[in-house]
């Protein structure tokens, strides 16, 4: 049953003061549009909170901790139900924000809630409940962990230390009788120095292995499940021994500490080491997404008001907003391009003395536009997105980009490839390159479609793509057969369902990177696809409907190819 209209009003953030535009209005019922500092005849001292007595007044007689519409109001995470998240973070804890960017949305197989789902088909709440009863050297048993209910927890806390006894071994009974001790807090390091890998490798061979009983079972289980080679298994175990020597007293390891071990011969297996530590309950994931590092590097050293406004825009674009006006999260690649477009202009304004984006006028925007058409296109969209978000979040009084006409991007003319380049790719000695080039050159697949192809999408010489059955050409079938033979020979025990896999994705379930195998082939998938579309446009006599159906293009995109052949 939905709450009453009055209850819904109490849950919404109150409007800002019409005087200063920073603080919230003192009261909503009865309506007072000013804060206590801007009241006519004031300023007046705000009263204490009617609920807890705090002096940090927010609105409606309540403080910022007690008012349901305050950004500092504490609630439960929308994904894992952990208590201790804030409205200003869109009701999501730090780990669930990482899950949202790395796992797809779906229905959990155990609790049947809609949330980001891991490779096991479980949400984070079910996975954490299973880890509470996880045995030493075992993977989490989700059936047993969720049979008697789910255990809730507090948000944004370090992973709890696992107090487990060593498995009974006659030679180590004296050590096994003592549980694993954990410190009450974690002491950060004073200096980050690159470890001497040669010394670590020698010491790892000579010293005892305190973590072996907690990680070796998981390492061997994952190696058996995903078909790891003996070399990769030994490299992961060697990395774990180096971490034990570097952090002998640590009960949990930060992901940044594990990544810092790079430079050893286990460099390519850091991801596998992180997965093993996470299954063993020894990992505290403190990795910062790449787009956040990119944002921080581009907008460092700006005035505090401008920095806060850019941070509000960035968080809204990356993670979306569940509070009205609602907004979907944007792709990080889109945000990166917009940051690249607006960063020179924002930096120039800051150098000229602009303290806040509220000082920007339409004339300043027109004067800052670059003359190049290609750059102007992304600058216009970036600034329009920036000021539209800030205006919708009431961080600005006016949107200076309102009514600004957007210029059309400069379109390049599609060009056909030289036949020799295509033949070189089709006759490549690498089976992966030959198969990928054949699929794109004959059937016009995009790079993303090629990366997402799975083994089950090819049945009896036909390709299932977006609900369509495509008969594969004879040259494509020959090259696919050669690639599948090579795939089965190199990775006979892999569980990866994708058609194309690499050395890094074979022990996992993900798809290959966007540069595989095109960097080694010396040709791009988009150039091949363009050549195929141009050939189809010429063969069909410029049939727009046929081109749109075959390649999934819009009418404008298909018309662009038809104009090129004319």
- Residue 59's DSSP bridge partners are 62
Question: Which H, E and C letters describe 383-396, residue by residue?
Answer: HHHHHHHHHHCCCC
Q: What is the DSSP letter of 500?
A: S
Q: What is the pLDDT of residues 520-563, one digit of tens each?
A: 888 888 888 888 888 888 888 878 888 888 888 888 887 888 88
Dig out the tokens for 208 from the structure: 């005892």
- Does the pLDDT at position 106 exceed 60? yes
On whether both 423 and 545 belong to a single domain, the answer is yes
On whether both 443 and 551 belong to a single domain, the answer is yes
On whether both 489 and 532 belong to a single domain, the answer is yes
Angle at 360 between CA 358 and CA 366, to 5 degrees: 155
Of 377, 392, 407, which marks where a domain is finished?
392
How many domains does the structure of the chain reveal? 5
Of 261, 284, 307, which marks where a domain is finished?
284
Q: How confident is the model at residue 214 (pLDDT cuts 50, 70, 90)?
A: low
On whether both 68 and 78 belong to a single domain, the answer is no
Give the position of tokens 């609602």.
326
Q: Which uninterrupted H or E stretch holds 469?
A: strand 468-471
Q: Please, which contacts does 373-378 make with residues 24 or more away whose CB atoms are closer than 8 Å? A: 373/407, 373/409, 373/410, 374/409, 374/410, 375/341, 376/407, 377/406, 377/407, 377/408, 377/409, 377/410, 378/337, 378/338, 378/340, 378/341
Tell me what percent of the residues of the chain surpass a pLDDT of 70: 84
Indicate the range of 3-7, 76-80, 207-211 predicted with least confidence. Answer: 3-7
- pLDDT for 134 equals 79
R_g (Cα) of the chain, nearest Å = 29
On whether both 440 and 302 belong to a single domain, the answer is no
- pLDDT for 481 equals 92
On whether both 534 and 459 belong to a single domain, the answer is yes
Terminal CA-CA length for the chain? 61
On whether both 108 and 65 belong to a single domain, the answer is no
Q: What is the mean pLDDT of residues 196-204?
A: 62
Cβ burial 232-268 (10 Å sphere, 16+ → b, else e): bbbbbbbbbbbbbbbeeebbbbbbebbebbeebebee
Q: What is the mean pLDDT of residues 88-96?
A: 86
- Are 346 and 310 a contacting pair, CB within 8 Å? yes
- pLDDT for 410 equals 63
- pTM of structure: 0.53
- Does the pLDDT at position 168 exceed 80? no
Give domain status of residue 203, yes or no: yes
Structure-model confidence comparison of residues 343 and 139, the more confident one: 343
- pLDDT for 190 equals 67
Rounded Cα distance, 324 and 87, in Å: 12
Q: How confident is the model at residue 177 (pLDDT cuts 50, 70, 90)?
A: very low
Rounded Cα distance, 10 and 29, in Å: 10
Give domain status of residue 177, yes or no: no
Q: Which uninterrupted H or E stretch holds 76?
A: strand 74-76
Give domain status of residue 340, yes or no: yes
- Does the pLDDT at position 32 exceed 70? yes
- Are 425 and 433 a contacting pair, CB within 8 Å? yes
Give domain status of residue 502, yes or no: yes
Give domain status of residue 47, yes or no: yes
Q: What is the mean pLDDT of residues 363-368?
A: 87
What average pLDDT does the chain have? 80
Pairing between strand 462-465 and 468-471? antiparallel
Dig out the tokens for 514 from the structure: 């966007």
Four-point Cα dihedral 60, 65, 68, 72, nearest 10 = 120
Of 39, 72, 105, which marks where a domain is finished?
72
Rounded Cα distance, 471 and 23, in Å: 64
Residue 59 makes CB contacts below 8 A (sequence gap 6+) with 14, 24, 25, 26, 27, 28, 67, 69, 70
On whether both 321 and 352 belong to a single domain, the answer is yes
Q: What is the mean pLDDT of residues 172-196?
A: 53
Give the position of tokens 């977006």.
466
Give domain status of residue 95, yes or no: yes
On whether both 46 and 125 belong to a single domain, the answer is no
Give domain status of residue 182, yes or no: no
Indicate the range of 4-18, 140-154, 212-226 predicted with least confidence. Answer: 4-18
On whether both 473 and 503 belong to a single domain, the answer is yes
- Are 491 and 509 a contacting pair, CB within 8 Å? no
Dig out the tokens for 269 from the structure: 């297996």
- pLDDT for 137 equals 65
- pLDDT for 550 equals 80
On whether both 64 and 199 belong to a single domain, the answer is no
- Residue 107's DSSP bridge partners are 114
Question: Which H, E and C letters describe 284-333, residue by residue?
Answer: ECCCCCHHHHHHHHHCCCCCHHHHHHHHHHHHHHHHCECCCCCECCCCHH
Q: What is the mean pLDDT of residues 224-240?
A: 80
Q: What is the pLDDT of residues 397-440, one digit of tens each?
A: 888 888 777 666 666 777 777 888 888 888 889 999 999 999 98
On whether both 445 and 491 belong to a single domain, the answer is yes
Rounded Cα distance, 445 and 464, in Å: 12
Give domain status of residue 21, yes or no: yes
Q: How confident is the model at residue 460 (pLDDT cuts 50, 70, 90)?
A: confident
- Does the pLDDT at position 390 exceed 80? yes
Range of the domain at 376: 293-392
């Amino acid at each position: 049953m939905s709450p009453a209209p009055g209850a819904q009003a109490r849950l919404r953030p109150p409007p800002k003061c019409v005087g200063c535009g920073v603080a919230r209005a003192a009261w909503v019922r009865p309506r007072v549009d000013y804060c206590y500092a801007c009241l006519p005849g004031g300023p007046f001292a705000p009263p204490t909170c009617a609920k807890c007595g705090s002096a940090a007044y927010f609105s409606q007689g309540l403080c910022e901790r007690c008012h349901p519409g305050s950004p500092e109001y504490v609630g439960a995470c929308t994904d894992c139900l952990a208590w201790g998240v804030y409205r200003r973070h869109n009701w999501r804890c730090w780990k669930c924000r990482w899950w949202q960017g790395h796992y797809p949305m779906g229905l959990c197989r155990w609790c049947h809630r809609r949330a980001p789902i891991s490779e096991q088909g479980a949400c984070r709440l079910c996975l954490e409940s299973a880890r509470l009863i996880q045995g030493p050297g075992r993977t989490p048993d989700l059936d047993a962990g969720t049979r008697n209910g789910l255990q809730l927890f507090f948000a944004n806390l370090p992973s709890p230390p696992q107090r487990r006894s060593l498995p009974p071994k006659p030679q180590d009974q004296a050590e096994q009788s003592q549980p694993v001790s954990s410190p009450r807090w974690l002491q950060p390091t004073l200096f980050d120095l690159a470890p001497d890998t040669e010394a670590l490798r020698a010491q790892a061979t000579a010293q005892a292995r305190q973590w072996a009983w907690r990680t070796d079972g998981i390492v061997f289980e994952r190696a058996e499940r995903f078909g790891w080679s003996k070399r990769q298994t030994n490299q992961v175990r060697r990395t774990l021994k180096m971490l034990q020597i570097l952090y002998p007293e640590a009960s949990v390891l930060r992901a940044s500490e594990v990544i810092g071990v790079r430079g050893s011969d286990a460099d390519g297996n850091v991801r596998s080491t992180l997965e093993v530590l996470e299954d063993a309950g020894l990992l505290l994931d403190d990795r910062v997404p790449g787009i956040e590092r990119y944002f921080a590097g581009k907008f460092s050293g700006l005035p505090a008001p401008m920095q806060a406004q850019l941070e509000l825009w960035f968080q809204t674009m990356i993670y979306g907003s569940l509070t009205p006006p609602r907004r979907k999260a944007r792709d990080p690649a889109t945000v990166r391009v917009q940051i690249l477009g607006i960063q020179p202009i924002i930096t120039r304004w800051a150098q000229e003395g602009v303290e806040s984006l509220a000082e920007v006028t339409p004339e300043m925007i027109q004067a800052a536009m670059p003359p190049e058409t290609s750059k102007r296109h992304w600058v216009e969209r970036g600034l329009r997105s920036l000021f539209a978000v800030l205006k919708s979040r009431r961080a600005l009084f006016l949107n200076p980009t309102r009514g600004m006409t957007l210029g059309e991007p400069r379109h390049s003319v599609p060009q056909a490839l030289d036949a020799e380049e295509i033949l070189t790719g089709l006759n490549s000695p690498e089976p992966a390159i030959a198969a990928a080039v054949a699929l794109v050159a004959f059937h016009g697949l995009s790079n993303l479609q090629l990366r997402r192809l799975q083994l089950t999408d090819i049945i009896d010489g036909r390709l299932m793509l977006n609900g369509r059955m495509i008969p594969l050409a004879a040259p494509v079938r020959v090259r696919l057969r050669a690639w599948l033979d090579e795939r089965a020979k190199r990775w006979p025990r892999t569980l990866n369902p994708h058609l194309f896999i690499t050395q890094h994705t074979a022990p996992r379930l993900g798809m290959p990177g966007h540069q595989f195998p095109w960097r080694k082939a010396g040709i791009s998938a988009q150039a091949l696809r363009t050549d195929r579309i141009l050939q189809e446009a010429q063969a069909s006599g410029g049939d727009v409907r046929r081109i749109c159906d075959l390649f999934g293009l819009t009418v404008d995109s298909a018309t662009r190819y038809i104009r090129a052949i004319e």
